[in-house]
Amino acid sequence: MCSMYGSFRVLLQVLSAQLLCVWVLGSELTFELPDNAKQCFYEDIIIGTKCTLEFQVVTGGHYDVDCRLEDPEGTTLYKEMKKQYDSFTFTAAKNGTYKFCFSNEFSTFTHKTVYFDFQVGDDPPLFPNENRVTALTQMESACVSIHEALKSVIDYQTHFRLREAQGRSRAEDLNTRVAFWSIGEAIILLVVSISQVVLLRSFFSDRKTTTTRVGS
Amino acid sequence: MLLSIYLHRLSFTYMFLTVWNYALYFHIGETEKKCFIEEIPDETMVIGKYRTQLWDKHSNSFLAATPGLGMHVEIKDPDTKIILSRQYGSDGRFTFTSHTPGEHQICLHSNSTKMALFSGGKLRVHLDIQVGEHTNNYPEIAAKDKLTELQLRVRQLLDQVEQIQKEQNYQRYREERFRMTSESTNQRVLWWSIAQTLILIVTGVWQMKHLKSFFEAKKLV
């Protein structure tokens, strides 16, 4: 009887610790996805946590990628093909390992750079040991709202930076391509015009020898 | 009795989930190299933490880190110069501060000392990379500088604003590079078009002259 109460108490303590400080397991990564490849990421999520998955293709081809999010039992929560940018919010209905995959299997030779941001739960509190009994003062709640606003500013900045990186890589590609093809075209032009003349000359030289042979 | 055992197991599972789990994870093959890109302004601190687990055929699960299984971490700056290239153990923590703004590349690959460790299995890598103001440990700062809660909140806001400012500066530098690239393309298109038209005209004229003199020599004209 005592041991049962003891273990029950332990469980309650751990659960309350969960509620007081919901862990943020937010990750933001940019990785390269080679052609015909699939990259999966996994995360263990607790039931009831609000999660957001945001992704954007930074460079490569038509800037599109397939994305798929599955819950621990394999049910597809989100599936989009050839998407450039998207954001998906969900609340975890089950405990366990959630999996999301990015696939570039439809592409034959372009490798892509993909950015994703997977936020799980809320931010950890500044004071993890605090026991929030009193309400926040006006100053403190003002600080909290400024903090939230700045977080969204940083988020917008990140997306703007990614779009700019996209544009810039296209422009640099264009620059090298223009140089390469211009030089190539000039060389082809010279080669074709010289060979045209040489070919014409060879036509007339052959005919002259045959006519003389027929004559004699 | 059974209920108490069950409750104990449940509480330990919860503790396991929360204590051991600090990030996203992915699977990596034996010789595979996984690279991540961080585009950051200069003087920004980046802290990366990773933890590895190896698939165990016998227990059909992922076991905690085994000795002899290390990860090699290589970090390149935007000029593709290697700024960090170190071998860490199965759990590692690496830090670097960027000195040039741009795309830094963080590459990880396993460097197991015993090849048998891998044998058909996959390595699970938990990874967490924090950049800029996320690297600050606020409870630590509060304890060190003896700040009240309000002061700590304001400090956090200041750090965030500083990060935004650095990013804006970096944005200005990137925009300048973009503009230079576009203007270079513009110049190249202009000069190469003129050059190609000239080559076309010159070769056309040369062709006609050459053929005319050729036919006159052959007494066909």
Please tell me the distance from the alpha carbon of residue B196 to that of residue A70, in angstroms, as a whole number: 56
A136, HSE (Cβ side, Cα atoms, 13 Å): 12
Q: Is residue B15 within 8 Å of residue A13, measured between CB atoms?
A: no
- pTM (predicted TM-score): 0.77
Give the pLDDT of chain B (221 residues) as one tens digit per residue. Answer: 666 665 555 554 444 444 445 678 998 887 788 999 999 998 999 999 988 888 777 776 777 766 677 888 999 999 999 999 998 888 889 999 999 999 999 999 887 665 555 556 678 889 999 998 888 888 888 888 888 888 989 999 999 999 999 999 999 999 999 999 999 999 999 999 999 999 999 999 999 999 899 889 888 76
User: Does the pLDDT of residue A216 top 50, yes or no?
Assistant: no
Q: What average pLDDT does the segment A104-119 reach?
A: 88
**Opening angle at CA A67, ends B64 and B164, nearest 5:** 80
Distance set, CA A144 to CA A129, A148, B133 (Å): 18, 6, 16
Strand partners, B87: B72
Q: What average pLDDT does the segment A181-201 reach?
A: 93
One DSSP character per residue, B151-175 reads HHHHHHHHHHHHHHHHHHHHHHHHH
Please tell me the distance from the alpha carbon of residue A167 to that of residue A107, in angstroms, as a whole number: 21
Which residues of chain A are within 8 Å of residue B160 when distances are taken between CB atoms? 147, 150-151, 154
CA A89 to chain centre: 16
Test B196 with A178 for CB contact under 8 angstroms: no
Residue B133 DSSP symbol: G
One DSSP character per residue, chain A reads -HHHHHHHHHHHHHHHHHHHSPPP--EEEEEEE-TT-EEEEEEEE-TT-EEEEEEEEEESTTS-EEEEEE-TTS-EEEEEEEESEEEEEEE--SSEEEEEEEE-TT-SS--EEEEEEEEES-PPPS-TT----SPPPHHHHHHHHHHHHHHHHHHHHHHHHHHHHHHHHHHHHHHHHHHHHHHHHHHHHHHHHHHHHHHHHHHHHHHHHHHHHHH-
Please tell me the distance from the alpha carbon of residue B110 to that of residue B74, in angstroms, as a whole number: 11
Test A150 with B160 for CB contact under 8 angstroms: yes
- Strands A85-91 and B24-28, sheet pairing: unpaired
What pLDDT score was predicted for residue B71? 85
Q: Is residue B137 within 8 Å of residue A124, measured between CB atoms?
A: no
- Strands B123-131 and B24-28, sheet pairing: antiparallel
Test A171 with B156 for CB contact under 8 angstroms: no
What pLDDT score was predicted for residue A22? 39
Residue to test with chain B: of A44, A137, A180, most B Cβ within 10 A: A44
Hey, is the C-beta of A109 within 8 angstroms of any chain B C-beta? no
Q: What average pLDDT does the segment A65-87 reach?
A: 91
Please tell me the distance from the alpha carbon of residue A26 to that of residue A48, in angstroms, as a whole number: 16
Test A178 with B185 for CB contact under 8 angstroms: yes
pLDDT tens track for A167-177: 998 899 999 99
What pLDDT score was predicted for residue B10? 55
Please tell me the distance from the alpha carbon of residue A22 to that of residue A25, in angstroms, as a whole number: 9
Hey, is the C-beta of A113 within 8 angstroms of any chain B C-beta? yes
Q: Is residue A144 within 8 Å of residue A136, measured between CB atoms?
A: yes
User: Does the pLDDT of residue A17 top 50, yes or no?
Assistant: no
Amino acid at B24: L
Please tell me the distance from the alpha carbon of residue B142 to that of residue B70, in angstroms, as a whole number: 35
Q: Is residue A34 within 8 Å of residue A104, measured between CB atoms?
A: yes
Using 50, 70 and 90 to split pLDDT, how confident is the model at A5?
Answer: low
Q: Is residue B84 within 8 Å of residue B94, measured between CB atoms?
A: yes
CB A51: neighbour CB atoms within 10 A? 20
What pLDDT score was predicted for residue A203? 87
Distance set, CA A57 to CA A30, A63, A80 (Å): 9, 5, 13
Q: Is B124 exposed, middle or buried (0-12, 13-18, 19+ CB in 10 A)?
A: middle
A125-A126-A128-A134 Cα dihedral, nearest 10 degrees: -80
Q: Which string of b and e fits A159-197 if b means at least 16 CB within 10 Å?
A: eebbeebbebbebbeebeebeeebeeebeeeeeebeeeb
Measure CB to CB from residue B207 to each of A6, A151, A196 and give the nearest one: A196
Residue to test with chain B: of A146, A151, A160, A206, most B Cβ within 10 A: A146
What pLDDT score was predicted for residue B121? 66
What pLDDT score was predicted for residue B28? 86
What pLDDT score was predicted for residue A23? 47
- Please name the residue that has the structure tokens 């036919």: B215
> Residue B136, SS3?
coil
Q: Determine the distance in angstroms separating the CA of A43 from the nearest CA of chain B, rounded to an integer.
A: 5
Token pair belonging to B8 = 């104990």
